[in-house]
Amino acid sequence: MHKLEQQGLTKLGKEILIYLLIFYFAHFCLSYLTTKVFFLCKVQQTSMETTLLPNQILLGKCQHFTKATIQRGAIVVFSGPPSEGNFLLIKRVIGLPGEQVTLKNGQVYINNSPTPLEEKYRISDTLTKKFNFEDIKVPLDSVFLMGDNSPVSVDSRTFGPIKLTSILGKIFFRLYPFEKIGKL
């Protein structure tokens, strides 16, 4: 081989190596972002209607919550309890760590407040009669979660408070359907 041919092969080899490195770096970054920073999920059930509808695609932020960082009203994805098949579920944070939650006469009360919790997102004014109970104390490492479509939702009223460590992250953006794309 001539010296020019060897230089051409070497140059081609370097270019291929550079493209491979770029591809692997991009793949690593995308994999990291979609497992450690953000996640996608598809709504499977009707328990969050009318806020979230079946088959909508959502974007969430992976987040480890503490008592200080969790917020009432946040829509979270969590690992459901074994009694519910350990599926990923989407619900709204209602009761914070250390709070007392009371469900009475179709309303939610926090810490014995005389005024019920304002829940504009709920599909119905009723929590259904079977869920009347008083004084559920949320443990300091847990939250009380409910679906917006409370008459059909299986949530903390059924399986109790959920540990903060079971929460994978917070939903913040709807990607699909395109006519409803936007921040939640």
Of the residues 91, 142, 150, 166, which is catalytic?
91
* Integer Cα distance of 99 and 142 in angstroms: 10
Instruction: State the fold for domain 43-183.
Output: Umud Fragment, subunit A (2.10.109)
150 is catalytic: no
pLDDT at position 77 is 94
Residue 109, sorted as left (phi over 0), alpha (psi -120 to 50) or beta, turns out to be beta
Q: What is the pLDDT of residues 55-110, one digit of tens each?
A: 999 999 988 888 889 999 999 999 888 776 768 899 999 999 999 999 887 788 99
pTM beyond cutoff 0.75: yes
Catalytic residue among 14, 31, 47, 150: 47
State yes or no: is 47 an active-site residue. Answer: yes
Indicate if the pLDDT at residue 112 is higher than 60: yes
Residue 22 has which token pair? 């770029």
3-state secondary structure (DSSP) of residue 179: helix
Q: Where are the beta strands (DSSP E) in the chain?
A: 38-42, 57-62, 75-79, 88-95, 100-104, 107-110, 133-137, 142-146, 162-163, 167-176, 182-183
Q: What is the pLDDT of residue 164?
A: 95
pLDDT of residue 152 exceeding 90: no
Residue 3, pLDDT score: 54
pLDDT tens per residue, range 13-45: 777 777 777 877 776 766 666 666 788 889 988
